[in-house]
Amino acid sequence: MSIELISNQQVELSGTCKVEDLVLHSLSPKYRSLNIIVSLIVGFVIVVIILLLAIQPLVSMPQKYLDYYYIAVMGITFLTLWSVLYSYFADRKKKYAIREFDVHFQSGLLFFSTVSQPIMRIQHIEIERGPIERSAGLATLQVYSAGGANHAFEIPGLVYEKAIELRQFILNHKDVSQNG
């Protein structure tokens, strides 16, 4: 099965490999486009609602609303563009790596971070898929340790099959089955 394939790859990485020179895998390219599309749609819908409220003749809106609604439109347009740009540059930076005994996730454009999760300390694993992720065939892998939900280890934007494979790799890991 493909699980064996993963662990074979990683054997040569482990041992000599240090955290700073890990070979990192990118997320699915769909992940970034999906984020951008979602921000655009959300921003567009909110702007349309604000505009419609201003134009529609059925209910008379308060004068203050009519005076200032364009500020809200501008603000939301700016936020949308910001998040599109941010996704465009930041999502490329999100990468993950798996070694024989730990998993790593790297991210950050302005605030760079690498989270390292030893597999032995994993308590349980979840695969999360919202409707949008499902439509694109993506999934988010969430890994929980005793550090609590605030410190859940998460790899988003994985191709679903890959996420399943990863989960299986962790579940089959001898550290989880024996010491976890």
Partner 1 sequence: MDNSDFSQGNEDSQQVAELQNGEWTKLSPISIVYFAVRSIFDFATTFFYLIPVLAINFNKIKEQPLIIVVVAACILIIFIVMGVLNYWFYRFRVGDDRIEIKQGIFKKSHIDLPFARIQNVKLSQPLYYRINDYSCIELDTAGSAKQEAKIVALKTDLAKQFRIKILETATESKSDDASSSIASADVGAASNEVILNHRSMRDLVIHGLTNNRIWIFLGALAPFYGSISDFLSQIFESIGFDVEAYFSIETQAWWEFGLHVLSVAMLIMLVVVSFSVVGAILMFYKYTLSKTKDRYIRRSGLLTKHEVSMKLSRIQIMVQAQDWLDVLLGRVNLSFEQNTSGVANANKSDGQMSNKLLVPSVTIDESLALMKDAMPSQTLAEQVFKPISKRYILRGLLFIALPIGGLLFAMIVRNELYVATIAACSAFALIGAILVIRWKRWGYSYDNEYFYIRRGFFGVNYYCFPMYKVQQAQFKQSIFIRPYQLASLKVVLASGAKLVPYMPASEVTNIINCILDQLVIDKRSWM
Q: Which residues of 124-144 are buried (b: 16+ CB within 10 A; e: fewer)?
A: ebeeeeeeebeebebbbbbbb
Distance CA 160, CA 94 (A): 17
Work out how close the CB of 35 gets to partner 1 at its nearest, in angstroms, rounded to a whole number. Answer: 21
Q: Would you tell me which residues interact with partner 1 (CB under 8 A)?
A: 14, 18-20, 100-102, 108, 110-118, 120-121, 145-148, 150-151, 153, 175, 178-179
Rank residues 124 and 134 by Cβ distance to partner 1 and give the closer one: 124
107 backbone dihedrals φ, ψ, rounded to 5°? -160, 170
Rank residues 134 and 174 by Cβ distance to partner 1 and give the closer one: 174
Query: Which of these, 15, 25, 13, 12, lies nearest to 165 by C-alpha position?
Result: 25
Work out how close the CB of 21 gets to partner 1 at its nearest, in angstroms, rounded to a whole number. Answer: 9
Residue 62 is inside which H or E element, if any?
A: none
How many other CB atoms are found less than 10 A from the CB of residue 105?
A: 21
Work out how close the CB of 157 gets to partner 1 at its nearest, in angstroms, rounded to a whole number. Answer: 20
Distance CA 80, CA 84 (A): 6
Rank residues 17 and 136 by Cβ distance to partner 1 and give the closer one: 17
Work out how close the CB of 136 gets to partner 1 at its nearest, in angstroms, rounded to a whole number. Answer: 28
The partner residues of 152 in beta bridges, in order of sequence, read: none
Rank residues 31 and 153 by Cβ distance to partner 1 and give the closer one: 153
Rank residues 2 and 14 by Cβ distance to partner 1 and give the closer one: 14
Work out how close the CB of 103 gets to partner 1 at its nearest, in angstroms, rounded to a whole number. Answer: 10
